[in-house]
Structure 1
Amino acid sequence: MLLDLFAARAEGRRISVSSACIASGVATSTALRWVAQMELDGLVPRRPDPSDGRRTFLDISADTADAVERWLNTTFVH
């Protein structure tokens, strides 16, 4: 989920909670627990969709995006 949100931020896309759950490849209940925990940890704030009150988007916080970028650079750049 964090990688998907990181890529979406770089591309200027928004990811809904339901899309993030589907992309995770796990049961929806499990994905929602992960989202809730990441939100509690301050990693992924939720943002309501101003045009559709039923939908909520996930963002990746700036600190989390920086951490993911550092991890990618140390893991995949030699």
Structure 2
Amino acid sequence: MAQWKKFEFFEEKSSRCSIPSDVEGNLQCCSSGRGRIALGCDDGMVHLLDRGFKPAFSFRAHAANVLFIQHLK
């Protein structure tokens, strides 16, 4: 007979992470990979953040909003 064991995946504590003020516009989508977080905004900009949520790189990806973003290996 099998028995169930409680396993906690996450710690129950709130984190104090926030989006940097350099990121303008409303966030529409996000993706992650290789130690970066990519944020797509409604102003057409894509912002790359490092593991500490600090801006690493930004570029204009589209003239309109960015609705989908995907990290490729």
Name the TM-score, length of structure 1 as normaliser: 0.23
Specify which structure has the higher proportion of strand: 2
Higher Cα radius of gyration: 2
Name the TM-score, length of structure 2 as normaliser: 0.24
Specify which structure has the higher proportion of helix: 1
